[in-house]
Structure 1
């Protein structure tokens, strides 16, 4: 379990799962895999979804619950618990959203692919922290804290995009009932420190499942249920639950989603025939994120410093920007949602996410290694002096 909680291992598992999914989809097994993903499971005539949707809407809701618990902690007791702490990463995060959108639209504006502009706005926190753990020995803690805050703010933006942009024909009654259950869930979670722990825990699981079902049926993307429940749960039991779920999310939920989302056939097209969705995402993730985060971050470091030197240099911000370009999990979900009815464009956007994230990963590995070497050398020089 310790291995599954480490920063390095989940990133490796995700990358391997995506590679296997892509290889399988482009092998003789590809057709069978596509049929398997389209197989419906559930109670016939009552509630059924394809295996692909169970992974995307069901399992991924657990991941978003874990993300929401971390977000709740950071907003109340962590690195985002005051406007002063949040200001600098918020400005950098704004650049890391706006510039990739602009880069994407430079390729796709006016084409059927223009609706994919949210795809390159996300940062995969597991991958980013994994690269930081592997290549960042010697880096000051301030860089990790800045990146964590940046990625969490990116997650907030991604959650807002999913909730607002990819919601159709909302059933207000079901959504209101789900909201009531979220309130009840939050109230019951605050009774977990009492005597009836087991019955309350069972009730919370049932409430969570029913809330998820209501949100799904309401027309709002079902992962939003995980977000709402994670934010509503009392912090102490929420952190305990997150601790218990984390290994399962890292070992099962995210690899299954990465395998499923990445299992797309590579189109037999010439470079000129590739969709603007592919080129937009491919360039926006590594280039847009680096430019947006580093430039806006440089500006943020000069706000409120009172003439003192900023705590992160421009080189540090370049490394953070490259890490921010590793979109992966949420970007894959956004590509699935943005082009749900256009499989051909969706597959190309997915390939753009994979390729753009790999490029960002490689660039980040180089930049993070360079910054880590810089700080280790400086530490040695200061020790000698």
Structure 2
């Protein structure tokens, strides 16, 4: 089980699942898999969703619950529990959001692809930490902390975009019902240490399902249900639930989503005829993230450490920026939402996410390896103290 919780293994599984999805979509099996993805499941005439929607709206809500629990912990007890601690990675995260948007907008300006500007703003926490674990032996702990805070803040931005930009025709009654269920869930979760904890746990599970269904019916994207439940749950039981869910998220939820999102047929057109949706994401993820995060991160660390050297060098921040360019999970979801009614643009944006994330992954592997070697050499040459 420890292997399933490690940073390295899930990143490898995620990449393999995406590669498999891309291979299947460009093989003779593509038609059969597509038919399965569009098959309706649920209670006929009452509540039905396609397999694709069950994955995107259902399974991914579990992933967002886990992210929200980690966010709640970091905001209350961890690395972001004060404005001062959150300021520096927040400034770097702002650079890693704004510059990719600008680059994408410049490339896609005036085209049908302009609506895809939120796609390159996300950072995949699991993937970035996986690359850091594989190639970053010897790096200062401050870089991991900085990257974790950065990725969490990026995810907050992605969650806000999903909630604000991709919600239409809201059913107020269903949303109000979801709000009541979330409040009841939060209150009841604080009674889990009582003698009736088994009964309470069952009721909490039912409330969680009810919240998700009500979000689906409300018109607000269902993954937000996972976010609000993760933030509302009492911290101690929430961390226990996160611990139990983590292996399932790593080897089932994220790989299944990556496989389904990567079911994209590679267009048989010359590179020059690919849409700005592809080029915008391909450029904005690796280039925008590296430049935005490293420049604003460097400025934030300089401002926050007057009178002494900053804890991370500009070269370390370049490595963090490259890691930030691995958009993957949330970027894939954003591409699905941004071009939901335009499958050709959605597919090209998805290819851009995959290609941009792979470019960022390779660049990050090189930069992280270099910085790890540099810090190991510094540690080896440092004078030993008695």
Please state which band the TM-score falls in when normalised by the shorter chain. over 0.9
Between the aligned partners of 1:180 and 1:47, the Cα distance in structure 2 is: 21
> Larger deviation: 316-325 or 173-182?
173-182
Aligned match of 1:257: 257
Secondary structure at the residue paired with 1:309? coil
* 1:77 paired to 2:82: no
Which residue of structure 2 aligns with residue 68 of structure 1? 68
**Distance in 1 between residues matched to 2:269 and 2:47, nearest whole Å:** 39
1:30-49 alignment runs, 5 A limit: 30-49=30-49
Q: Tell me, yes or no, if structure 1 residue 241 matches structure 2 residue 241.
A: yes
**Conserved? CA contact 2:100–2:284, under 8 Å:** yes
Count the aligned residue pairs.
Answer: 385
Deviant stretches of 4+, over 3 Å? none
What SS class does the counterpart of residue 4 from structure 2 fall into? helix
Secondary structure of 1:42's aligned partner:
strand
Q: What SS does the aligned partner of 2:41 have? A: strand
SS of the aligned residue for 2:306 comes to coil
Which residue of 1 is the match for residue 59 of structure 2?
59
How far apart are the structure 1 equivalents of 2:303 and 2:172?
Answer: 43
C-alpha distance in 1, partners of 2:212/2:384?
Answer: 59
**1:328-350 residue CA offsets vs partner (Å, 9 max, x unmatched):** 00000000000000000000000
**Cross-structure match for 2:101:** 101
TM-score by structure 2 length?
0.99
Deviation at 1:301, TM superposition (A): 0.8
Paired with 2:279 and 2:52, the residues of 1 have a C-alpha distance of: 26
Q: Distance in 2 between matches of 1:306 and 1:273?
A: 50
Q: Secondary structure at the match of 2:48?
A: strand
CA shift, 1:306, in A, is: 2.4
Say whether the 8 Å CA contact 2:162–2:334 is kept in structure 1.
yes
* Kept in 1: contact 2:88–2:304 (CA 8 A): no
Secondary structure class of the residue paired with 1:302: helix
Maintained 8 Å contact 2:19/2:262: yes
**Normalized against structure 1, the TM-score is what?**
0.99
Residue 285 of structure 1 corresponds to which residue in structure 2? 285
User: Partners in 2 of 1:50 and 1:276 — Cα distance?
Assistant: 29
1:1-385 aligned at under 5 Å gives the runs 1-383=1-383
CA distance in 1, matches of 2:102, 2:34: 34
Separation in structure 2 between the aligned mates of residue 201 and residue 109 of structure 1, nearest angstrom: 51
Shift of 1:305: 1.4
SS in 2 for 1:192: coil
Q: What SS class does the counterpart of residue 49 from structure 1 fall into? A: strand
2:97–2:289 Cα contact (<8 Å) kept: yes
Q: CA–CA distance in 1 between the matches of 2:227 and 2:109?
A: 31
Secondary structure of 1:48's aligned partner: strand
Residue-by-residue CA offset, 1:165-187 (whole Å, 9 max, x unaligned): 00010011111110111000000
Q: Deviations over 1:63-112 (max 9, x none)?
A: 00000000000000000000010010000000000000001111101111
Deviation at 1:384, TM superposition (A): 6.3
Q: Note the C-alpha offset of 1:157.
A: 0.2
CA distance in 2, matches of 1:41, 1:290: 42
How far apart are the structure 2 equivalents of 1:259 and 1:362? 21
Contact kept? 2:128, 2:323, Cα under 8 Å: yes
Distance 1:35 1:229 in 2: 33
Q: Residues of 1 paired with 2:270 and 2:251: CA distance? A: 37
